[in-house]
Amino acid sequence: MRIMLARRFAPSAFVLIVAIAWLSVDVPARADSVEQAPPPNGVIAYVLTTFQPAVYQTADAKAECPNGLIANHVEQYEAQFPTEEARKAQREKYGYFHNRGKNGENVHWFPESIVDPVPFREAGGKVAFGLNLDGKIGPNDFVSPDGEAGIDNELYRVLGCIAGWRDGGAMTFQNEVRMRDNPYNRILFVLSGVDNLVNDNDVTIRTYRGLDNVPLDSLNKGVPGSTQRIDFKYGQRFMHVFKGKIVNGVLTTGPADYVMPWSIVGDGRFSADEQWYRDTRFRLKLDADRAEGLIAGYVDVAKWWWAYTKRTAGKLDDYVRNSPPSVWVALKARADGFPDPVTGKNTAISTASALRFVRAEVINLPKENTTQRVASASAKN
Amino acid sequence: MSQDEYTYAISDLFGPDVAVTLTVPRAPRVGGLLAVGTGVASVTPSMVELIHRNSHLVADQVVDVSRREFLVPCKPVAVNAADAACADKFLTTVGRRLFRRSLSEAERASMVMIAGESAERLKDFYAGLSFTLAGMISSPQFMFLKEIREPDPHSPGRMRLTGYAKAQRLSLFFWDSVPDEQLLRAAENGDLHTARGVAQQVDRLVMSPRLERGVRAFFSDMLAFETFADVAKDAVIYPAFTQAAVAEAKEQALRMISNHIVAERGDYRDLFTSRKTFLTPSLAILMGIAAPAPGWSKYEVPQDSQRVGLLSQVGFTSLYAHPGRSSPTRRGKAIRELVLCQKVPDPPANVDFSGFEDTRGKMNTARDRLTAHATNPVCAGCHKITDPMGLALENFDGAGQFRTTEGDAAIDPSGTLDGIAFNTPAGLGKALHDSPAVTSCLVSRLYSFAVGKAPGVNEKDYLEKLKAQFANAGYRVPDLMRMISNDDAFFRSASEPTTVTAKAP
């Protein structure tokens, strides 16, 4: 898969694509080789094991970040206070370099209290992961690695040149571990009305928050078939309904609003939060044990910012190599959807993230998903 | 002491929340049981160090401020100084349970003196107590299960176990732990030298919830479950066989056994055909179903399921398999040796397994490969007695997951057991249920486990009597335990020449 992507889309022959190669979901699934039996009662459930903002990247980053990665917090601080005397005075007056606002404000909480001296470096290039959210092909839209035009992913411009959001970065690690290991983030997808996992023009997808851990194999990958329970008590706001269709083993949903649990710091007790998506769509390659692909939509800028940097309040930024004032300004500038009816300013920004699910056995499915697979009924062995 | 005996002893004396970090090495398996192998013990210097360290950790927990209120039966006059009276009260009480006998005056005086000197030096009464207690827990008097004999006044010239030794044997057999206060009193009163006194104590031991421990200990030993510690599976081939699943597979088998044998007082033979088991979410994945709830749940497999009986559980089928595939031979050998008490010779050293182990060739199934392998006359003899049973479990892969095919070929689970044919895993369970060798083996092993030695040739008649009693009791294992422990043979020393007279049942 990785080689195939490089051959098709690498800007030059020597650039190695190191992006998340499995995002290429429009490759026909196993339809051509495997006849998929319909799931029992037309219902199949999956539990999320991986969530990663889809940051397209090349090995040397020159294609997407020709001017290099962004200046991080420390570098901005050093540029803001260029002499040792100035730094000493700032430290003596305000205590910590994060408090580099004009009046000593912590710039995580008050990102507009200072303008970063080193200009922000956005991700550029032509290629990005994502979907065409607005149905248009504009001059600033990206092309997907598989050649699909009109890709809307402005959040990628903001995050693409921040080290922590790229492969091996701190945010990549946090998203990987916390979304998988913290039950607060347990996301269940239940597909019902499925006559065929390869082709079905009318399926319903309901999302829930789950309560149980996902067993992991020795490679830390989720094991298909785990037992899950829906959180009906505290998970109401994560319940949504999408309509979709399956073509050649790829599920595509229509747009709908979606609230996703997103607790990415610690064990979730102090940083339980969420992302608010508008016009959300899913494109997932399905089989009987797994679902992989993308979530794309417009994410609420203020909520995203709160969940990301205000919640962490500096815990992560030093590792992410972030600089809050720059990122906040860029976020607002690149917001491209859902204008505020009063100010006219966009409140949401287009984005895409990579998802991986494994099959789950949900034992407390509500009736809306018709019947369920339960232990006593399904066991044959 | 075994690992469980040590852990239960500490738990019974000081409470289950006192953590034990000691890992007791495995004893050699002799006569099919570890319990017989523990008759000979050796301790390395490093083991002594570990015992010593754990003893201090346990003792520190016992006298910790969170526990001393209810574990130390008195308060010192001053916490920063010695208090001989209080130390004596605590050490005498605890020492009696640890050593399974009353302490001598000299021992009491010595320990009180050590506790006093330590308290004065450390300026802490409880630290002195802890130091002395650690010494007692490290002592061979606690760690080694000695059986003291004394002249038998009713049989001049013969020896018998002391009352304390009898109490210890009873408690280990039924509870897998040290005697409680009532057993020690019965030992001191001489009750355990009378048939009536023994019967009274046995009735009490059998009715206790701790009986489950004894039953679990016996079946863990009989089925060689200590080898679960060595189980490793290829994570690429069996991703669902996680570390959690290994521990839970063992526990699943033991819960199934203890539920059937103890809670339901079931017929031992029905263990091979029972549909009642237990599962966790991790095991449910391997069983291809959803768990009814988090944690452990009781579960009854459907009537059309082939996962019937103890041997089709994830525990047995995964334990007796290779890391990346099933093994009809290992499973068949385990059934022959562990369930039927029949010895299967080891393979010759120069056998070529390459053909059998090549799963890429035309021989898709294990049956195909074993059939080709067994054309070698050197191998055929043993495979004839192992494979027909092991092949019946081929519907379960190396991780205990149900399957109907191997490669592209359908699995044929037919086989025979001593002339009885079957064609499903459930059929194998039924054949074992009906085999007299199964109950005969259980009687022999349980007796051997109880007395710590393999049955002698002159105990054949006695075992025949036990078998008949076992059958009359509806093959209830607790009843068999009661029969064994109520007989004079139970208290014969493992090293004593055995002369047993068979009595009519």
Residue pLDDT, tens place only, A88-109: 999 999 998 889 999 999 998 8
Looking at residue A18, what is its pLDDT? 39
Residue whose C-alpha is closest to residue B200's, from B481, B486, B446, B470: B486
Are the CB atoms for A133 and A299 separated by under 8 Å?
no
Are the CB atoms for A121 and A68 separated by under 8 Å?
yes
For residue A22, pLDDT over 80 is answered with no
Decide if B450 is inside a domain: no
Q: What angle do CA B328, B329, B330 make, to 5 degrees?
A: 95
pLDDT classification of A313: cutoffs 50, 70, 90: low
Same domain, B46 and B131: yes
DSSP single-letter state for residue B261: I
Decide if A203 is inside a domain: yes
Decide if A302 is inside a domain: yes
Q: Which of B128, B143, B158 is the last residue of a domain?
A: B143
pLDDT classification of A268: cutoffs 50, 70, 90: low
The residues, ordered by sequence, that sit 6+ positions from B348 with a Cβ below 8 Å of its Cβ are: B378, B379
Residue B498 CA to residue B459 CA, distance in Å, equals 7
Q: Chain A: residue nearest B404 by CA?
A: A381
Looking at residue A36, what is its pLDDT? 62
Q: Is the dihedral of CA A321, A325, A328, A329 positive or negative?
A: negative
Are the CB atoms for A359 and A43 separated by under 8 Å?
no
**B30 shares contact with chain A (CB less than 8 Å):** no
Decide if A316 is inside a domain: yes
CB-defined contacts A:B, below 8 A: 83
Residue B293 CB burial class (10 angstroms; 0-12, 13-18, ≥19): middle
- Out of B244, B287, B291, whose CB is closest to A381? B287
Q: How many residues does chain A have?
A: 381
**A147 shares contact with chain B (CB less than 8 Å):** no
Residue A336 structure tokens? 């491209």
Q: What are phi and psi of B305, to 5 degrees?
A: -80, 150
**B284 shares contact with chain A (CB less than 8 Å):** yes
- Out of B242, B292, B307, whose CB is closest to A216? B242
**For chain A, what percent of residues have pLDDT higher than 70?**
84
Decide if B278 is inside a domain: yes
Residue B48 structure tokens? 């002594």
Inspect the interface and report whether the beta carbons of A379 and B294 lie closer than 8 Å: no
**B287 shares contact with chain A (CB less than 8 Å):** yes
Predicted ipTM > 0.85: no
Residue whose C-alpha is closest to residue A151's, from A134, A132, A136, A137: A132
Inspect the interface and report whether the beta carbons of A215 and B291 lie closer than 8 Å: no
Inspect the interface and report whether the beta carbons of B291 and A362 lie closer than 8 Å: no
Q: Which residues of B touch A221 (CB under 8 A)?
A: 239
Same domain, B292 and B408: yes
Are the CB atoms for A240 and A216 separated by under 8 Å?
no
What are the distances in angstroms from CA B289 to CA A295, A359, A360, B281, B444?
A: 29, 12, 10, 9, 38
* Total domains present in chain A: 1
Are the CB atoms for A161 and A122 separated by under 8 Å?
yes
Decide if B24 is inside a domain: no
- Transcribe A222-250 into DSSP letters: BPTTEEE-B-TTT-GGG-EEEEEEEETTE
Looking at residue B298, what is its pLDDT? 96
A197-214: pLDDT as tens digits = 999 999 999 999 999 999
Decide if A101 is inside a domain: no
Looking at residue A10, what is its pLDDT? 33
Decide if A151 is inside a domain: yes
**B306 shares contact with chain A (CB less than 8 Å):** yes
Inspect the interface and report whether the beta carbons of B284 and A218 lie closer than 8 Å: no
Looking at residue B494, what is its pLDDT? 58
Between helix B477-485 and helix B211-222 the angle, nearest 10°, is 100
Q: How far is B318 from chain A (nearest CA, A)?
A: 15
Q: Which residues of B touch A218 (CB under 8 A)?
A: 235, 239, 242
CB atoms within 10 A of CB A197: 25
Looking at residue A311, what is its pLDDT? 65
**A362 shares contact with chain B (CB less than 8 Å):** yes
**Average pLDDT of chain A to the nearest whole number:** 85
Q: Which of B434, B455, B490 is the last residue of a domain?
A: B434
Same domain, B275 and B129: no
Inspect the interface and report whether the beta carbons of B289 and A216 lie closer than 8 Å: no
Residue A204 CA to residue A246 CA, distance in Å, equals 11
State mean pLDDT over A64-80: 93
For residue A40, pLDDT over 80 is answered with yes
Q: How far is B233 from chain A (nearest CA, A)?
A: 10
Same domain, B283 and B372: yes
Between helix B163-175 and helix B195-207 the angle, nearest 10°, is 30
Looking at residue A267, what is its pLDDT? 58
Domain that includes residue B74, residue range: 42-143
* Total domains present in chain B: 2
Decide if A100 is inside a domain: no
The residues, ordered by sequence, that sit 6+ positions from A356 with a Cβ below 8 Å of its Cβ are: A22, A48, A49, A50, A222, A290, A291, A292
**B317 shares contact with chain A (CB less than 8 Å):** no
Same domain, B305 and B423: yes
Same domain, B266 and B136: no
- Out of B290, B307, B395, whose CB is closest to A361? B290
Domain that includes residue A219, residue range: 2-70+120-378
Residue A1 CA to residue A23 CA, distance in Å, equals 10
* DSSP E strand stretches across chain A: 44-53, 187-192, 200-209, 226-228, 240-247, 250-253, 256-261, 274-286, 290-300, 337-339, 346-362
Looking at residue B363, what is its pLDDT? 62
Same domain, B138 and B268: no
- Out of A212, A226, A375, whose CB is closest to B292? A375
The tens-digit pLDDT sequence of chain B (505 residues) is 888 999 999 999 999 999 998 888 888 888 888 888 877 777 888 889 999 999 999 999 999 999 999 999 999 999 999 999 999 999 999 999 999 999 999 999 999 999 999 999 999 999 999 999 999 999 999 999 888 899 999 888 889 999 999 999 999 999 999 999 999 999 999 999 999 999 999 999 999 999 999 999 999 999 999 999 889 899 899 999 988 899 999 999 999 999 999 999 999 999 999 999 999 999 999 999 999 999 999 999 999 899 999 999 999 999 999 999 899 989 999 999 999 999 887 777 766 666 666 666 666 777 777 676 666 666 766 677 777 888 899 999 999 999 998 877 888 888 888 888 999 999 999 999 999 999 999 999 999 999 988 888 888 999 999 999 999 999 999 999 999 999 988 998 655 554 444 444 3
Inspect the interface and report whether the beta carbons of B284 and A216 lie closer than 8 Å: no
Are the CB atoms for B401 and B288 separated by under 8 Å?
yes
More confident residue, A178 or A240: A240
What are the distances in angstroms from CA A200 to CA A34, A241, A251, B125, B387?
A: 16, 17, 9, 77, 47
DSSP single-letter state for residue B486: T
Indicate the range of A47-51, A226-230, B79-83, B390-394 predicted with least confidence: B390-394
What residues are paired with A192 via a beta bridge? Answer: A204
- Out of A219, A224, A363, whose CB is closest to B290? A363
pLDDT classification of A31: cutoffs 50, 70, 90: very low
Residue B180, classed as helix, strand or coil, is: coil
Are the CB atoms for B100 and B186 separated by under 8 Å?
no
Looking at residue A335, what is its pLDDT? 97
Residue B383 CA to residue B333 CA, distance in Å, equals 9
For residue A255, pLDDT over 90 is answered with yes
Residue B263, classed as helix, strand or coil, is: helix
Q: Which of B434, B467, B488 is the last residue of a domain?
A: B434
Decide if A112 is inside a domain: no
Decide if B155 is inside a domain: no
Residue A375 CA to residue B288 CA, distance in Å, equals 9
